[in-house]
Structure 1
Amino acid sequence: MAKSNTITYQAILNKLRAKEFAPIYYLMGEEAYYIDKISDYIESHILTEEEKAFNQTIFYGKDSSIGAIINAAKQFPMGAPYQVIIVKEAQQLKAIDDLRFYLEKPLPTTLLVFCHKNGKLDRRSKLVQEIEKKGILYTADKIYDDQVPKWITEYLAERKITITTKAAEMLSEFLGNDLSKIANELEKLIITKPTNMPGITPELVEKNIGISKDFNNFELLKALISNDILKSNRIIRYFATNERANPISVTLVVLFNFFSNLLVYHSLPEKNDAIAAKALGVNPYFVKDYAAASRRFPVTKTEQIISMLRNYDAQSKGISNSSADAGELLKELIYKILH
């Protein structure tokens, strides 16, 4: 079987679709989206509805024992080529190491699936070694924030729907990197999208998700880069009156990531789009923003801004700050960045 560091989500799905089954699938990690997608596929596609009645069992870690799960896994299917056993919330199972005794001789007609979220097995354990020898061990890691717009674009492309760069950035900024949450919102957009509209636009996002296409961190960055003081202040005022939808913590992270990347851009000996995009881990489309920002903010100023962002992040958490609210802090910070 493929080792966990080489098997991918798509490779697992491809094997399942080709009916190449493993006796055990141990799905673990911080990104619940991929764990759910794989287990949902197995739950929905391996057996027919008639076969499921006697051959598909769902366990929950909190309410189950590893002994009961192993006993079930040792049973032969009834009137079906396989039986499917899915263990949800496997991170709550006790004595999980006892599973290795079953893996010494797993039943080939049983598909045993463990969904272990928000954590991982110890890779040094004998259990991990046995899982990798006999089946599939898959680790679902969170994707980085700067990878989210690409993920959104690819998710929609699979459904033959386009999305503008700005709309993808708006969703990324607003939703973070929780892929399950993002997928749910994208499905809402797909449903509400007019049939004559080829793709997702900022206007559609604004109307259905509640994100302003004009007052968001994406637009704030553009205003700072272009030294548009009026627009910057308008956005900050909007943030102050809509603090719940525009928390200062998110704005500070967006600004910190941008200016940290800008410092990297300054250090590049070659600044063509391809090299810069790879070094910064961004879409080549955004390299022009770093090029413009590098002219607006030289190295010394960039370093000062990064230091300021750390300071205001601390103040926003109540450190060395007894009275200023989030709106006041942000207004003061943006003034210092612009001047």
Structure 2
Amino acid sequence: MAKSAEQILADLKNGNYAPVYFLHGEEPYFIDLISDFIEKNALDESEKGFNQQLLYGKDVRLDQVVSASRSFPMMGQRQVIIVKEAQNLGEFTQSDFDFSMFENYLKSPQPSTVLVFCYKHKKLDKRKKIVKTLEQFSVLLESNKIYENKVPDWIQNYVKSKGHSINRQALLLLTEYIGNNLERLSNEIDKVLVNFSDPVEINEGLIQEYVGINKDFNIFELQSAIIKGDALRANRIINYFASDPKNHPAVVNIAFLHAFFAKVLLIHHSPDKSERGVASAAGVNPFFAKDYLAASRRFNVNKTIQNLAHIFQADLMFKGVTANIGEAQLMKELVYKLMH
């Protein structure tokens, strides 16, 4: 049966373990979340030495996994077998492999075994018969990457689940710099929260201190300076970037600015100029709608199109197609053109 990560975790927290879990997809975070919970909680510590096996796809065959799953636990009520990196099981890469033995096990699993497959970074081929069998006889999770515009909500919910809160600026910094990499996001947030025993509001200062994203000199602050026409502040940020090009490469900044103005152009052509309408048109979270609305007011349609052309030319210059100048000078010239 196909289930969401939330449904599976709710069942597990209530002590309801299924005989077989097959966790697959491009987002490893939810796969790890579920398999780690089972690894930590399905057995007492005293039972794990005898009744918990961690296998790796590149080291075992599927028939060995099935054989181990049919055995009985030693001096306990349950055994747990977790197949990590299951995408490396050779059988799943063979187009003509006969899954009959595995299918038979799925239809009649050992009730005292909890068998977990962690098939990460890609999805199963749904055209294969084995996938239909898994849908019918196992708990099947398809772990998909979340959309960029859902990241702020995910961050807020994650922080709230830990008993804390996060302010807008900190949320913007994490969203813009880390994106939808949930594993890294959770790790960076945990790096902040581990320092506090009482509830705390994560602010931009804490992000700078514990995550290393400068609250004053970052691409989001550059975007804000461009929107407000603050040339002095924009140049200070560009100079800061130039002093640390490894962590602030021009190619990334150019790509960010292109994505920003492309979304502003979409807003100009959207009939709905409400915050929700703007968010929908630009494909961003409503949390950021005010910034895009402000940009659309400052830069009319023609100027927005002109700015996209400036960014395209800067990209060619950066790549040495039309000219070859230093990153700092290139960014200064680009920002000047965007603002004037």
* TM-score, normalised with respect to structure 1: 0.91
Alignment correspondent of 1:142: 145
Alignment correspondent of 2:224: 222
After the TM superposition, which of the residue ranges 65-74 and 48-57 deviates more from structure 2?
A: 48-57
Q: Counterpart of 2:188 in 1: which secondary structure?
A: helix
Q: Counterpart of 2:194 in 1: which secondary structure?
A: helix
Shift of the alpha carbon at 1:270? 2.2
Whole-angstrom CA distance in 2 between matches of 1:271 and 1:193: 41
Alignment correspondent of 1:67: 63
Q: Which runs of 5+ in 2 are unaligned?
A: none
CA change 1:147–1:312 in 2 (3 A) is farther
Which of 78, 84, 95 is 2:80 aligned to? 84
CA change 1:313–1:127 in 2 (3 A) is farther
Q: How does 1:85-234 map to 2 (within 5 A)?
A: 85-96=81-92, 98=99, 99-193=102-196, 195=198, 198-234=200-236
Alignment correspondent of 2:307: 305
Shift of the alpha carbon at 1:67? 1.6
Q: Give the residue type in structure 1 aligned to 2:39.
A: E
Which whole-Å deviations, capped at 9, do the CAs of 1:60-113 have from their partners, x for residues lacking one? Answer: 111111121111011122333322110011111111353334324322322111
Q: Counterpart of 1:269 in 2: which secondary structure?
A: coil
Contact 2:20 2:138 (C-alpha < 8 Å) held by counterparts: yes
Alignment correspondent of 1:270: 272
Shift of the alpha carbon at 1:219? 0.8
Q: Give the residue type in structure 2 aligned to 1:326.
A: E
Whole-angstrom CA distance in 1 between matches of 2:280 and 2:155: 19
Q: Give the residue type in structure 1 aligned to 2:176.
A: E
Q: Give the residue type in structure 2 aligned to 1:181.
A: R
Shift of the alpha carbon at 1:192? 2.7
Shift of the alpha carbon at 1:138? 1.3
Shift of the alpha carbon at 1:289? 1.7
* TM-score, normalised with respect to structure 2: 0.90
Corresponding position: 1:37 with 2:53: no
Seq. identity, %:
42
Shift of the alpha carbon at 1:50? 2.2
CA change 1:291–1:100 in 2 (3 A) is same
Whole-angstrom CA distance in 1 between matches of 2:327 and 2:103: 53
Corresponding position: 1:49 with 2:48: no
Shift of the alpha carbon at 1:254? 2.5
Q: Counterpart of 1:119 in 2: which secondary structure?
A: coil
Shift of the alpha carbon at 1:208? 2.0
Shift of the alpha carbon at 1:326? 2.7
Shift of the alpha carbon at 1:321? 5.1
Number of residue pairs the alignment of both structures matches: 333
Q: Give the residue type in structure 2 aligned to 1:182.
A: L
Q: Give the residue type in structure 1 aligned to 2:122.
A: G
Contact 2:225 2:233 (C-alpha < 8 Å) held by counterparts: yes
Alignment correspondent of 1:327: 328
Q: How does 1:233-312 map to 2 (within 5 A)?
A: 233-312=235-314
Contact 2:106 2:138 (C-alpha < 8 Å) held by counterparts: no
Whole-angstrom CA distance in 1 between matches of 2:72 and 2:337: 70
Q: Give the residue type in structure 1 aligned to 2:225.
A: A
Shift of the alpha carbon at 1:322? 5.8
Q: Counterpart of 1:204 in 2: which secondary structure?
A: helix
CA change 1:286–1:174 in 2 (3 A) is closer
Contact 1:189 1:205 (C-alpha < 8 Å) held by counterparts: yes
Whole-angstrom CA distance in 1 between matches of 2:266 and 2:78: 54
Contact 1:100 1:126 (C-alpha < 8 Å) held by counterparts: no
